Amino acid sequence: MLDVDADFSTKQTILDAILAALIAWLFFLPITGVLLDGYAVQSAWHQPFVLALIVFYARCLIAIIVHTDLGKRLFVGKGHYAGVEVVDKTNAHWHWLLVIVAIGFVFPFFSSKYWLTVAILALIYVLLGLGLNVVVGLAGLLDLGFVAFYAVGAYSYALGSEYLGLGFWTALPFAAVLAASFGAILGFPVLRMHGDYLAIVTLGFGEIIRLILNNWTAFTGGPNGASAPLPTLFGLEFSRRAKQGGTPFHDYFGLDYSTIYRYILIYLVLFLVVCVMTMVVVRLRQMPIGRAWEALREDETACRSLGINHVVVKLSAFSMGAMVGGLAGVFFAAYQGFINPSSFTFFESALILAIVVLGGLGSVVGVIIAAVVLTILPELLREFSDYRVLIFGMSMVLMMIWRPRGLLPQRRQAFRRT
Amino acid sequence: MTEPLLQLDKVSASYGSIQALKSVSITVNQGEIVTLIGANGAGKSTLLMTIFGQPRASSGRILLAGQDISQIPIHQISSLGLAQAPEGRRIFARMTVEENLLMGTIAIGDAYLKQDKDKVFALFPRLKERRKQSAGTLSGGEQQMLAIGRALMSRPRLLLLDEPSLGLAPLIVKQIFAILKEIAKEGATIFLVEQNAHHALNLADRGYVLANGEVRLSGTGQELLANKQVQHAYLGG
C-alpha cells in the first residue's frame, strides 16, 4: 500500500516538511502562542510548537501518499488533452434517459411544495448552466457577466406585463429574443477580445445592466423592484380569486385552492424547456455551428485561415447563451412573483460559472448534475448554513485537484461527417 | 505568358507604426513550388498573414489569379482556393485527427470529404493510424502532417506553408519535405515560407530571400543555393 515510487526523495520530503512546519509555527505564534487573560497577556509558547509538529508530520504524510499508487490515482489529474474524450458511437442509455424524464414529469404531483420550489430553483440553474456552457464551455469565451441576460429575461417579463400587458406565455419568446439581442449587443464590442480582457468587459456589462435596473427608477422601479404576474393556463388564473370575468384554475377543476398548482405549472413548463434546451444544445454540437464554436475555442487564428466567419460564430454563441439565460430569467420572475436588482449581482454570475466549471466545461450532463447539486446541497445542509460558503470553496479546491476537468469531463460524440 | 496564380504587387504592411513589409513583389505561377527564406523577423510570416488579410496590406495589390483579394473579408479568402498550414501548426488539439480534417473542408463544404480524407491518409499513413486520437496527443511531426493535411482538405489552388520544419527533428523535417515533393508532383502549387533554407531551396523551383521586410534576392532554387551571400547568411557556409 505504501510502496513509494522512484521519484520519492526522503531528503526533499523532510526539507519540505520543515519549511511547512516553520511557516505554520510563524503563522500560529501570534494566534495560539499568546493568550489574553483579562488585561494581562500569557504566553503559551508550546502550543505553536505542537501545531507546527502536526503540520510537519502531515506534510510528510502527504508527500508519501502522493508517491504511492493510491495517491497517484487520487491526486494526479488527467493531462490537458485527455480532457475531451471523443466517443465513437452513440452510447446514450436511452431507457435510463426516458426513466429520468418520466420521473421529472411526475415528480411535482408527489412532491411537497417546499421540494417543488427547490426543484424549480435547481432547474432554473440548470438552464443558466446550459446557457453559459455554450459560451464558456463550447466557444471558450469567458463570460463573467452572464447574470445580465438572466436579469434581462426576468425584467422583460415583469416590465413587459406592466407596460405591454404581456402574459407569461408571450413573455417566454419575447424574453428569449430580447436576451439574444442583448447577447449580440455584448458580442460586438468584444469580438476582438480574448481571455482576461473579455472576462473584464463581460463583468462590466453585467454590472452595467444591474446598475441601470437599479437606478432607472421611473422605468424599472429601481431597488423597489417590479412585480411579475402569475402565469395562466389557457386563461385560467392561479390566484384565489380571478380578475374580472376569469375563472380561477381550482374552481374550474373543482379543486380546493392551493398555491402549489402554480408551482406545478411553472415546474412542468420549466422542465419541458430544460429538456428541449438540452436536446438543442446536444444537437447543435453535431452541427457545423457547434463544430465552429469548438474550433474557435481551440484556435481562433486557425479558424480564420480555414474560412470560419468568426464574427458570426462568436455572436451566435453569445446570443444562444443569452437566449437560454433570458428564458431562465422569465421562470425566475414567474416563480418569485417579484424581482429586484439584488437578485442579479456578480455573485450570481460566479455561481453560474462555478456550475459550469464544476460540471465540466462543455459537458451537458455534468452541468446539469452540478446545477442540481449546487442548489439542493445548500437546502440539505441548512444546519451548516454558516459554513455554506466554506464548504463551497473547499469543494471547489478539491474538485480542481481531483477532477480538474469537472465532475463529468466533456465527452462528446465524434462529429458525424468524419 | 499566362497569368500568375498569386501575385504580390508592391505590398506593404505594418503593425502599428512598425513597417513589416516594404513594397514586396512576389509571383507564384501555376504548378510551381516557390519558397521564401529569411532570418527571424525578416517579415516572412507577416507576408503570409498579409495574404490572409491580417494585417491588411497598407498598399499594393494581392492578386489571386488576377482577382485582387487584399480587401475581401478574411473568412472568404480561403474559399477562393487558398489554404494555409499556419506557423506553429495550430491544429485543434481537443478534436480528433479526423475532425481536424473535417474542419479543413469548411471553405468548400463536405462533398468530397471521404475522397479527400483518403488522399490525405495515403500521403500521411501515420495520420490514418491515429485518426481517432485527439490531435493534441500527436507528436510535433504528426501535428505538422495534420496541419498540411487539413489545408489540403479544401482542395486549394495554392497551398501556403509557414515553417513546416519549425521545432522538428531533422529526420522528421526530411520526411515532411519528401511528402511536400510528392504533393507538388501531383500538380499542386506551393508557396513555402522557411528558415530551413537548405531544404527549402532544394525543393523549390524558385526562391526569394527576404530581409528587413524587403526582397533582397530572387532566383531559381539552385541559383540561390549556389549564391555566396545566401550561403553565408542562411546556410552556414
- Residue A79 has a pLDDT of 46
Instruction: Count Cα neighbours of A276 within 13 Å in the Cβ-side half-sphere.
Output: 8
Query: pLDDT digit string (tens) for B56-102?
Result: 999 999 999 999 999 998 888 888 999 999 888 899 988 899 999 99
Query: pLDDT digit string (tens) for A67-79?
Result: 777 766 665 554 4
Contacts of B7 (CB under 8 A, 6+ apart): B25, B26, B27, B28, B61, B62, B63
Question: Residue ranges of the alpha helices (H) in A337-387?
Answer: 346-359, 364-380
Q: What is the 3-state secondary structure (H, E, C) of B142-189?
A: HHHHHHHHHHHCCCCCEEEEECCCCCCCHHHHHHHHHHHHHHHHCCCE
How far apart CA A226 and CA A157 sit, in angstroms, is: 10
Query: pLDDT digit string (tens) for A295-316?
Result: 998 888 888 888 898 889 999 9
- Residue A92 has a pLDDT of 58
Among chain B residues, CA nearest to A414:
B99
How far apart CA A146 and CA A142 sit, in angstroms, is: 10
The candidate with the shortest Cα–Cα distance to A259, out of A378, A224, A156, A267, is A267
Say yes or no: B136 contacts chain A, CB-CB below 8 A: yes
Whether B94 and A84 lie within 8 Å, measured CB to CB: yes
pLDDT-derived band of residue A81, with 50, 70 and 90 as boundaries? very low
What would the mean pLDDT of B160-178 be, rounded to a whole number?
Answer: 92
Check whether A243 has a pLDDT greater than 90.
no
In this structure, what C-alpha cell is assigned to residue B14?
505594418
Say yes or no: B101 contacts chain A, CB-CB below 8 A: yes
What would the mean pLDDT of A3-17 be, rounded to a whole number?
Answer: 80
Contacts of A217 (CB under 8 A, 6+ apart): A224
- Residue A91 has a pLDDT of 56
Long-range interactions of A93-100: CB distance < 8 A, separation 24+? none
Q: How many CB pairs under 8 A join A and B?
A: 92
Domain ranges in chain B are 1-81+158-169+189-237, 89-156
- Residue A215 has a pLDDT of 95
pLDDT-derived band of residue A374, with 50, 70 and 90 as boundaries? confident
The partner residue sitting opposite B102, judged by closest CB among A82, A301, A418, is: A418
The partner residue sitting opposite A302, judged by closest CB among B86, B99, B137, is: B86
Among chain A residues, CA nearest to B102:
A418
- Residue B10 has a pLDDT of 94
- Residue A169 has a pLDDT of 92
Check whether A1 has a pLDDT greater than 60.
no
> B22 to chain A, minimum CA–CA distance in Å?
23
Whether B94 and A288 lie within 8 Å, measured CB to CB: no
> A86 to chain B, minimum CA–CA distance in Å?
7
Comparing B188 with A236, the larger pLDDT belongs to: B188
Domain ranges in chain A are 10-75, 103-230+269-413
Q: Are A395 and A71 in contact (CB under 8 A)?
A: no
What would the mean pLDDT of A318-327 be, rounded to a whole number?
Answer: 96
Check whether A379 has a pLDDT greater than 60.
yes
How far apart CA A300 and CA A303 sit, in angstroms, is: 5
How far apart CA A392 and CA A385 sit, in angstroms, is: 11
φ, ψ dihedrals at A66, nearest 5°: -70, -10
User: Chain A residues with CB inside 8 Å of B116's CB?
Assistant: none
Check whether B227 has a pLDDT greater than 50.
yes
How far apart CA A166 and CA A161 sit, in angstroms, is: 4
Comparing A393 with B217, the larger pLDDT belongs to: B217
Strands annotated E in A308-414: 338-339, 411-413
Whether domain A103-230+269-413 has CATH 1.10.1760: no
User: Chain B residues with CB inside 8 Å of A81's CB?
Assistant: 93-94, 134, 136-137
8-state DSSP, A414? P
- Residue A82 has a pLDDT of 46
ipTM for the predicted complex comes to: 0.85
User: Chain B residues with CB inside 8 Å of A418's CB?
Assistant: 96, 98-99, 101-102, 113, 117
CATH class of B1-81+158-169+189-237: alpha beta
